[in-house]
Amino acid sequence: MVVVCSGIEAIGAAARRLCASRLVVIPTETVYGLAARVSDVAALERVYALKGRPADNPLIAHVLDARQAQTITTGWDERCDLLADAFWPGPLTLVLGRARDVPPLAAGGRDTLAVRAPAHDTARAVIAEVGEPLSAPSANRSGSVSPTSAEHVQQDYVGITKAQDLLILDGGPCIQGIESTVLDLTGTTGRVLRPGTTTVADIESVIGPVQDAPVTGQSDSPGTARRHYAPSTPVTLIHPDGLGQALSGRDDAVAVLAGAGVSVPKPHVHVSPGDTPEDWARHLYAALRRADAMDLAAILVVQPPEDPAWVAVRDRLMRAASPQ
């Protein structure tokens, strides 16, 4: 049975489970993560199996701070110190070398390892109690919409036998709402592998220029598959001027994801993540899940502006709308 709990006693229970190779879902400020101890190969295997994640798609190790990050990575340099001082705890993941005693499976078989210090008190308390970093991918089943609440996680594992022994820590809705920015620092110039709410401008203000060409290839960062974060209802992106035309002549009802001010005629259903980039990031996955649950013919998304502030949200929308 999946157990959901919160509160201070839950931290101890979660830590005991993790030390016994059982999995725990932890809340973070970005999305919920499916956690195992970074050194626990049997539990890491369970993470891959339960998520249905390909074995070569590496995991992020969650640490308390820069000191703990250095115990599991190699190549920590001045850039890392500057970035950790500026953005940790928070939604920035650094890809560095994998320390020799970290099992390859924690990194999908790679020589590199991604690390970040999450900003959620519950995640931090569990890492502190366990005394070791926790590997945790987003807790959704592979390819589908990431969970931003404990209920989302529960819904994803209903009827999945392998999830029988899952403890979900309920830390409320995630404040940031989309996954961390992933920055590869294994080369002399940093490279953004996945955009997030820590923007390229934020990073460049601290360490100078980085590369931020969009990554859609599996080899650089296997989690950046083009189709990802996708509901089962087909998603289509619509230019703001094209909504009327997209709806005209449709006799089947669709869900329209759009800013609060957009008018959506009946029988279509308006689902609004809000108006600002922060609102959209925070509410996007809940909105996609809500729209998907309506079981309508399609989800049309009125695209947010092509502006640097919207890069991370547009990235997730593009992947949600990619054909199967």
With respect to ligand TXA, which residue has the nearer C-beta, 223 or 268? Answer: 223
The dihedrals phi and psi of 26, each to the nearest 5 degrees, come to: -110, 145
Residue 114, token pair as written in the block: 């991604």
* Residues 69-128 interacting with ligand TXA (rule: CB under 6 A): 91, 93, 95, 107, 110, 112-114, 118
Which DSSP category does 217 fall into?
A: -
193 binds, among ligand TXA, Mg ion, none (CB under 5 to 8 A by kind): ligand TXA
Applying CB under 6 A, the span of 57-65, 79-87, 149-157, 273-281 interacting with ligand TXA comes to 57-65
The tokens describing 132, both together, are 């070791």
28, 93, 138, 154: residue in contact with Mg ion (rule CB under 5 A): 138
Instruction: Give the C-alpha separation, 152 to 147, whole Å.
Output: 5
Ramachandran assignment for 129, one of left (phi > 0), alpha (psi -120 to 50 degrees), beta (any other) = alpha
Residues 28, 41: Cα–Cα separation, whole Å: 23
Q: How far is CA 139 from the centre of its chain?
A: 8
The verdict on 180 binding ligand TXA (CB under 6 A) reads yes
Structure tokens at 302: 């009125």
> Which partner from the list Mg ion, ligand TXA, none does 103 bind, CB cut-off 5 to 8 Å by kind?
none
* Minimum separation from the CB atom of position 309 to ligand TXA (A): 19
CB atoms within 10 A of CB 12: 12
The verdict on 28 binding ligand TXA (CB under 6 A) reads yes
Check binding of 135 to ligand TXA (CB under 6 A).
Answer: no
Per-residue tokens: 195: 């955009």
- The reply on whether position 30 binds ligand TXA by CB under 6 A is yes
Binding range to ligand TXA, per CB under 6 A, among 4-12, 131-139, 198-206, 262-270: 131-139
Q: Residue 132 to residues 18, 39, 108: CA-CA distances in angstroms?
A: 10, 8, 19
182 binds, among ligand TXA, Mg ion, none (CB under 5 to 8 A by kind): ligand TXA
Residue (36 or 136) nearer to ligand TXA, CB: 136
60 counts as binding ligand TXA under rule CB under 6 A: yes
**Per-residue mark of binding to ligand TXA, 212-241 (x: CB under 6 A):** ---------xxxx-----------------
- CA atoms of 241 and 238, how far apart (whole Å): 8
Q: Round to whole Å and give the CA distance between 98 and 111.
A: 5
* Rounded distance between C-alpha atoms, residue 117 and residue 27, angstroms: 13
Residues found near ligand TXA in the complex (CB under 6 A): 28, 30-31, 33, 57-60, 91, 93, 95, 107, 110, 112-114, 118, 136-138, 179-180, 182, 193-194, 221-224
Residues found near Mg ion in the complex (CB under 5 A): 138
